[in-house]
Structure 1
């Protein structure tokens, strides 16, 4: 895949309906500080392109658990991460997207039977994910990305035009008060006085400066550098230059939430009856439906549905890849290509059923701050994982024991914290201990990351180091040079797969196939050519693919580096602008 497709697909996989609706809801309730996740995400994407992707590609891994196996050996880390990711797909990604989907269907399309409508969306996205695979997902992501950006900018224009200027938008926001108080406390309906500041006091209950600068970066690093849904898009790039260009494009696009989510929301709505916080989530479409022409309403709904479908297809495709590569092949190591494709498609259907069963839970999200809830969950689970991957990529002395013991140790702390730390709602008495009362979940993410890194460091030093051959191509310091890559390409001979496929089709055509065989053939999405190759040829093909993807185009690399540096500069400027 070329860099525009990679960049748009990465961006759309990130900016699903949960972000589109959730970021706007959190910003309306507490101000622009929620953008810390977007701006830290910008730096996380650049880190992915320049530190992690070269290692992933060089190692020949297709999934994050598979990288751990190639880096450390053994299989317990691989299985552990695969199972954890599949669970998180359901409890965070799928639940967040379904919640956003319910809001879209209820408010934009005025559909009463939201579950039936969501069932239809799930069925459609599952169908083209199964039949088209990753290529279809990336192409549709790119198309939907264009729709989302255009539609959101038009809506932002209407919003700012309605208020006249940025200064008027700030004034109107601070005058926005909930028309109805649900908690018997009028202060719960007032706008936050620090709504347009990002760097707030360290004691701020929502966005303390240390938490949003360092804690949010840890979450962003985990999300962009180790999440299968996002990394898989970059791994589809034709070479490293296209991969880095795609990350630079996605990083620049991370600035857009300020305009397409925050200003769109603050500019359009100034009084929200029926909700306990100023400018809470619903009714986000009420103002839009009053002032926008019909064609723009349709474009906006298309943009929101595109964001929803894009994220769902990314989740389905990545979950199927994880299950097939990291779990199924563990028990069926000699499964041929057709069997793997069949298992992947059947698992996608199974994941659809899980999504259907999960629909009733979307009503549990209260107050419109689903994005805030997801970040709390991530703060408990992500830091040990990011510490493990970051040290695996950056530190050659780290071994399997260090990674394994640091990971569960962090999880135990997270489980304890999740039980004892339960912040009260607005207007409720805070009965927690003073230490817990002032210890924000983003600060806990910093603590958990540091603890996991220290445990990994100590355990790795007191146990036996890995053999040097295990480190080849699996850390940032042991990547293959361009000369070595070219030597591999020159020395590795592989058969002409297109010629073999054509020959196989001719043989099948002469013998004929019944409709059942044809249907299975289409559903599996694979020919028998790959299954006819011996193991040595398969290894040669994999080696050549890895070498090809690891190449760097010197002609364009300098320009890509400049664009990446510009993206970082823009991110730093935005941090300064809101401080």
Structure 2
């Protein structure tokens, strides 16, 4: 029989709930931690945001050779996602049985002694298994693998965030920023992100729920539904425009941040301390009784409504600016006019540049290379080396206009990129159906 840790007020706090081995759980507030409606609809919204729009995933997909390779990579990732149930969840359940007083602790003082967090030590379950069950050499190898995976994920996130900040935000502040400046700004922003991450660790440790996975899912449900809603509307509804997307994101961000503040400003009391719940009644109703996955669904619908309403009340984007940007026009071979050039055309600017939009930093490259022609001092070369800036003299080659493709040729090539060659496209489609079948079986088996 499993030994359960002692508690001050309720001996049952350490026992796993009756629904622990089931996926489909009650939607009634307080009866389960993961309602089945939230598992199906709420996590789907967060999943679309992560797998379709997150920079970390998108930059990997864009590196594929063609569409078949991109789809095959996604299918392979879906297959690998089956493994955490067997290599993470089930071993974690075993760790809870083997190390009851540590992993399953519920007494705040005891948890503080074991892992430094008063809300629980469930995040140490896998580490306990690696350190205590594996041989010395193998445990070191596993820790090295875990650290390598962690560092890989962190570097991808930091690289994506620094790129977004440098390209999308800093260029609005400094419109004539050089490549070197953008590179340095990106590196400094990574350093700032590291500092913020370290400062945020105590917030995670002292959150009401000690499970890191639950914390990540709750934050995603607060912030990702607006992005998912805008993404789906932009892909499938050509009437979506910039004002609609902007105000949809703003309203969604305000509502999501409000829920985030209320969630962590009024902490839910721990097991056995229900009588000490000092939260206002309205907090218990709108926060306690609305699961964060259900909140994600509600926020998704609100952003959809706001975006549709604002888009219908404002000027639409012309069709000539939407070729190959929506699902219905993905195979179009028409030349697409950028929205910037369309606006210039509206402002009676004579010259209209067709896609793609010229690189706004193209003029700055010449100045950067010309400045490199001069000998730099030693301290400047050291800084450039740390920032990854080449100090070699590079001559700027003049492009031959005769070798450039016409806009029509570029449009045709972009449309042809979506063409998939058989039989590999059939193989990828078959594997996708196989993955969905296995997923449905696992849902039904553990329902």
Larger deviation, residues 530-539 vs 443-452:
530-539
Q: Which runs of 5+ in 2 are unaligned?
A: 108-119, 337-355, 357-368
**Structure 2 residue aligned with 1:461:** 312
**Structure 1 residue aligned with 2:327:** 476
* 1:276 partnered with 2:106: yes
Distance change (3 Å), C-alpha of 1:397 and 1:548? closer
* 1:216 partnered with 2:61: no
Distance change (3 Å), C-alpha of 1:332 and 1:280? closer
Q: CA deviation at 1:294?
A: 2.0
Asked whether the 8 Å contact 2:223–2:253 carries over to 1, the reply is yes
CA shift digits 1:385-424 (9 cap, x unpaired):
2111111111101111221222222233334444555444
Q: CA deviation at 1:211?
A: 1.0
- Structure 1 or 2, whichever has the larger Rg, is 2
* 1:332 partnered with 2:174: yes
Asked whether the 8 Å contact 2:27–2:36 carries over to 1, the reply is yes
CA shift digits 1:405-449 (9 cap, x unpaired):
222222333344445554443222456457444321211111111
Partner Cα distance (1:408, 1:478) in 2 = 28
Determine which structure has greater relative contact order: mean sequence separation of CA pairs < 8 Å that are 6+ residues apart, divided by chain length: 1
**Structure 2 residue aligned with 1:575:** 443
Find 1:187's aligned residue among 12, 35, 50.
12
Find 1:399's aligned residue among 231, 235, 241.
241
Equivalences for residues 29-40 of structure 1 within 5 A: none
Q: CA deviation at 1:176?
A: 3.7
Asked whether the 8 Å contact 1:177–1:279 carries over to 2, the reply is no
Distance change (3 Å), C-alpha of 1:452 and 1:213? same
CA shift digits 1:194-223 (9 cap, x unpaired):
111001121134111111110111111112
Distance change (3 Å), C-alpha of 1:367 and 1:377? closer
CA shift digits 1:33-76 (9 cap, x unpaired):
xxxxxxxxxxxxxxxxxxxxxxxxxxxxxxxxxxxxxxxxxxxx
Asked whether the 8 Å contact 2:23–2:36 carries over to 1, the reply is yes
**Structure that is richer in helix per residue:** 1
Partner Cα distance (1:454, 1:382) in 2 = 16
Computed over aligned residues only, the root mean square deviation of the Cα atoms, in angstroms, reads: 4.0
Larger deviation, residues 289-298 vs 387-396:
289-298
Q: CA deviation at 1:464?
A: 1.6
Q: CA deviation at 1:225?
A: 1.8
**Structure 1 residue aligned with 2:163:** 321
Partner Cα distance (1:394, 1:336) in 2 = 37
Asked whether the 8 Å contact 2:248–2:306 carries over to 1, the reply is yes
Q: CA deviation at 1:350?
A: 3.8
Find 1:202's aligned residue among 27, 44, 65.
27
TM, length-normalised to structure 1: 0.58
Distance change (3 Å), C-alpha of 1:366 and 1:529? farther
Partner Cα distance (1:418, 1:196) in 2 = 29
Q: CA deviation at 1:530?
A: 9.2
Distance change (3 Å), C-alpha of 1:292 and 1:332? same
Q: Which runs of 5+ in 1 are unaligned?
A: 1-174, 486-491, 493-504
Find 2:4's aligned residue among 168, 178, 189.
178
**Structure 1 residue aligned with 2:340:** none
**Structure 2 residue aligned with 1:452:** 303
Distance change (3 Å), C-alpha of 1:242 and 1:300? same
TM, length-normalised to structure 2: 0.74
Partner Cα distance (2:160, 2:398) in 1 = 27
Asked whether the 8 Å contact 1:381–1:411 carries over to 2, the reply is yes
Q: CA deviation at 1:363?
A: 4.1
Distance change (3 Å), C-alpha of 1:302 and 1:190? same
Equivalences for residues 107-186 of structure 1 within 5 A: 175-181=1-7, 183-186=8-11
Q: CA deviation at 1:460?
A: 1.5
Distance change (3 Å), C-alpha of 1:342 and 1:252? same
* 1:426 partnered with 2:271: yes
Larger deviation, residues 520-529 vs 449-458:
520-529
Larger deviation, residues 312-321 vs 430-439:
430-439
**Structure 1 residue aligned with 2:113:** none
Find 1:241's aligned residue among 52, 57, 68.
68
Q: CA deviation at 1:539?
A: 9.2
